Amino acid sequence: MSFDNVYESLTEENDARWAFGTGFEDPLSGVDTSVPSGVDGAALAAYCLMLGDDALVFSHRLQEWCTNAPELEDEVAIANIALDLLGQARLLLARAGKADGSDRSEDSFAFQRAENEFRNVRLAELGGGHFGHLIARLFVFSTWRLALLQRLVSSVDPVLAAIADKGVKEVTYHRDYAAQWLVRLGDGTPLSHERMQEGLDAVWPYVGELFRTHPLELVDAASLRPEFDAVLDQALAAATLVLPTAGELAGVSGRTGRDGVHTESFGFLLAELQSVARAMPDAKW
Amino acid sequence: MVTAEAVAATVTDPELPMLTLADLGVLRSVSEEDGRVVVAITPTYTGCPAMDTMRDDLEHALVSAGYPDVEIRTQLTPAWSSDWISSAGRQKLAAAGIAPPGAAPLRSGPIPLTLSAPVSRVSCPLCGSPDTEEQSRFGATACKALRRCRSCLEPFEHVKEI
């Protein structure tokens, strides 16, 4: 057997040696993706991209913890959370491609867009730091996303509603995982307490953006704030942590992640995420 | 000729091969439309990487059994629940050393935050002791948690309630 390049050998017809094969099917295959009457397909697509990009980008940051987590169990947990979010991203990006009528694939959205075309909140793209930083980001992100997905269960779009319904079950587990670590570290040793508070303080400037209502959003993000605050109060009290007071990080002329304005580290993230697809545009997986 | 439904019902899950897709509740319906067999499946978890294998296995089984025209459809609603695992499926899981799930939580209104491990209602599938503890809520596959028995000290897996 000879191949022109290594990728060809990976994607040959007989892929039985791969645990799950190499062919990824459209995750919405067989699902009725017609846009309900009265719904603006372009706006629905734009909204699905926002939620899909949040999941895709945050999943990538979580995957960076593989081989870096403090214990094997947490390695597995973080990878599982990343996998759930990647699954949500696949469905949401595929939904966007159907809703706007372009039939653009999930891969095209993920791998062939430039930095300013991504619509994720900046919180999702934050990287680096220690385990306290990770837990703070995961707790804030999951608490917000869970509240959001719960609203979307009654979306006018049945596909988005179905994705949200499934996501609620998954993100409930993500939020519990993060909250339990938050309490263990916050209410632990002086060092772990300090690290957890550091993590929370560092993420805080990115929280305001989560609740800023964007004209294209189907759910009024501001309406999620009371529920978010109540969950935070409960967890911070148990963790003996204090609510940070730092103000919101400004965007550029008021534009932030949802408008395609991102932090410096996002370019590096995308360069890695898209490297194979850009080097081998015809590669299949 | 064996019915298409009976053929589809024999296909097993790639990750839990002791269970059929029907036992797991992933296989939602099998129908025939103008000579074409239409199979609907529902993913257990959104990111479940085994979905493509399930499709391939179903198609292969049906084609081999003499149904050349097969279409596998994804059905997203209602979302899969661990309550859909059949009683036969639960017995097979327990026999394989995997604790079957309890009843899935009912949801209404904002979901309360759980800050401590819930009271254990999971018995050890190896020795039967009810004295078990959760070690990690995430296991080798998305659908399983890791637990340990305090009586026989053996670790075991538990299919999560969702």
The pLDDT tens digits of the residues spanning A62-92 come to: 999 999 998 888 999 999 999 999 999 999 9
Is the Cβ–Cβ distance between A57 and A124 less than 8 Å?
yes
| pLDDT for position A204 | 97
Query: Looking at beta carbons, which residues of chain A come within 8 Å of B77?
Result: 158, 161-162, 165
> Is A150 in Cβ contact with B74 (below 8 Å)?
no
- H or E element in which residue A54 lies: helix A41-63
| pLDDT for position A267 | 96
User: Number of Cβ pairs closer than 8 Å across A and B?
Assistant: 125
Query: How far, in Å, CA of A127 to CA of A273, rounded?
Result: 14
Is the Cβ–Cβ distance between B12 and B3 less than 8 Å?
no
pTM of structure: 0.90
> Is B56 in Cβ contact with A170 (below 8 Å)?
no
Please tell me if residue B29 touches chain A, with a CB cutoff of 8 Å: no
> Is B45 in Cβ contact with A85 (below 8 Å)?
no
Q: Which residue of A has its CA nearest to B138?
A: A77
Query: How far, in Å, CA of A218 to CA of A227, rounded?
Result: 18
How confident is the prediction for chain A on average, in pLDDT?
90
Please tell me if residue B74 touches chain A, with a CB cutoff of 8 Å: yes
Q: Does A22 have pLDDT greater than 80? A: no
A64, A122, A227 from A231: Cα distances, Å: 27, 21, 6
> Is A235 in Cβ contact with B113 (below 8 Å)?
yes
3-state secondary structure of A245: coil
Please give, rounded to a whole number of angstroms, the shortest distance from the CA of A88 to a CA of chain B: 6
B-interface mutation test, from A73, A148, A169, most B Cβ less than 10 A away? A169
Reported as a pLDDT band with limits 50, 70 and 90, residue A20 is very low
Considering only CB atoms, B73 lies closest to which of A30, A147, A177, namely A30
Reported as a pLDDT band with limits 50, 70 and 90, residue B137 is confident
> DSSP assignment, residue A34?
P
User: ipTM, 2 decimals?
Assistant: 0.87
Of A182, A174, A180, the closest CA to residue A131 belongs to: A182
CA pseudo-torsion sign B143, B148, B151, B154 = positive
Distant-in-sequence, close-in-space partners of A44: CB < 8 Å, separation ≥ 6: A35, A95, A96, A99, A100, A157, A160, A218
| pLDDT for position B126 | 92
Please give, rounded to a whole number of angstroms, the shortest distance from the CA of A21 to a CA of chain B: 7
Q: Is the peptide bond before B78 cis (omega within 30 degrees of 0)?
A: yes
| Tens-place pLDDT, residues A226-267 | 999 999 999 999 999 999 998 888 888 889 999 999 999 999
Q: Does A28 have pLDDT greater than 60? A: yes
Q: Does A223 have pLDDT greater than 60? A: yes
Considering only CB atoms, B113 lies closest to which of A28, A161, A179, namely A179
How confident is the prediction for chain B on average, in pLDDT?
90
Query: Looking at beta carbons, which residues of chain A come within 8 Å of B142?
Result: 80, 83-84
Query: How far, in Å, CA of B55 to CA of B74, rounded?
Result: 9
| Tens-place pLDDT, residues A156-206 | 999 999 999 999 999 999 999 999 999 999 999 999 999 999 999 999 999
Q: Which residue of B has its CA nearest to A166?
A: B79
Higher local confidence (pLDDT), A201 or B139: A201
The pLDDT of B14-26, averaged and rounded, is 93
Reported as a pLDDT band with limits 50, 70 and 90, residue A17 is very low
> Is A150 in Cβ contact with B110 (below 8 Å)?
yes
